[in-house]
């Protein structure tokens, strides 16, 4: 009798242990499967980007697009020849950067604003990050808005060039601009700044 009792108790304990183990395992697996992807991806998950060309002194090549109202000049003041893409001038420049697409993009945008010159002297990228939908957020310094003393067509082509420069070097699906960490209603009073750029400027 006591032997049968011992078997029953041992059997119950075994069943309890199996059920408990199954419940615990289920809990962990379940949490792992439903957890959302992190807001900021640390690795590029966008379009296939060609590895940039490498130059001396830790430089890499970037593509920078300019609207046609910007005069492109060489170091000695001569007009620079540029390839035309979708009505924009595109030039390849060597900039100091590592191979991180976001750092390359930041360097390309700095080149973009240097090329624009008058009105955009103080404009710089303050921060750059990418969300899980591969939208790159470009946070600009407040000086960015000071340069928008232009008519609608010029503003359109300027923002198209910005968009192309940012996407060409980051592989982003879309670009969203912030100014001093905040969303803005409009850049120069002609176009929305609230929304990602692709729909309006991605043509």
Residues that bind another protein (CB under 8 A): 149-154, 156, 185-186, 188-192, 200
Comparison of 105 and 144: residue with beta carbon closer to another protein: 144
Contacts of 157 (CB under 8 A, 6+ apart): 67, 68, 69, 87, 88
158 C-beta neighbours (distance < 10 Å), count: 24
Min dist CB 149 to another protein, Å, is 6
The Cα-based distances of 151 to 135, 187, 188, 191 in angstroms read: 28, 12, 8, 11
Burial of 143 (0-12, 13-18, 19+ CB in 10 A): middle
- The least CB distance from residue 104 to another protein, in Å, is 29
CB nearer to another protein: give 6 or 153. Answer: 153
Nearer to another protein, 22 or 69 (CB): 69
Tokens 């199954």 label which residue?
A: 22
Instruction: Count, in order, helices (H) and strands (E) of the chain.
Output: 4, 7
Phi, then psi, of 24 in degrees rounded to 5:
-65, -45
Nearer to another protein, 124 or 190 (CB): 190
Least distance CB 191 / another protein (angstroms): 7
Least Å from the CB of residue 49 to another protein: 28
Minimum distance from residue 166 beta carbon to another protein (Å): 19
Cβ distance to another protein smaller for residue 70 or 95: 70
Distance, in Å, from the CA atom of 176 to the CA atom of 137, rounded to the nearest integer, reads: 5
């Amino acid at each position: 009798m006591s032997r049968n009792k011992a078997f029953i108790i041992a059997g119950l304990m075994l069943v309890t242990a199996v059920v408990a183990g199954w419940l615990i395992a289920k809990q962990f697996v379940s949490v792992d499967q439903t957890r959302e992807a992190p807001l900021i991806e640390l690795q590029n998950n966008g379009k296939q980007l060609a590895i940039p060309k490498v130059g001396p002194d830790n430089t890499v090549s970037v593509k920078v697009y300019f609207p046609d109202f910007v005069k492109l000049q060489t170091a000695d003041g001569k007009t620079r020849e540029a390839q035309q893409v979708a009505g924009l001038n595109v030039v390849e420049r060597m900039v100091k950067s590592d191979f991180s697409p976001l750092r390359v993009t930041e360097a390309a945008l700095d080149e973009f604003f240097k090329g624009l010159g008058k009105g955009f002297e103080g404009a710089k990228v303050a921060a750059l990050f990418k969300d899980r939908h591969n939208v790159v957020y470009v946070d600009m310094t407040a000086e960015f808005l000071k340069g928008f003393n232009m008519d609608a067509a010029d503003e359109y082509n300027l923002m198209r060039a910005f968009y192309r420069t940012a996407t060409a070097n980051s592989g982003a699906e879309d670009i969203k601009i912030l100014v001093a960490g905040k969303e803005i209603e409009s850049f120069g009073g002609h176009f929305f700044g609230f929304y990602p750029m692709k729909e309006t400027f991605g043509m």
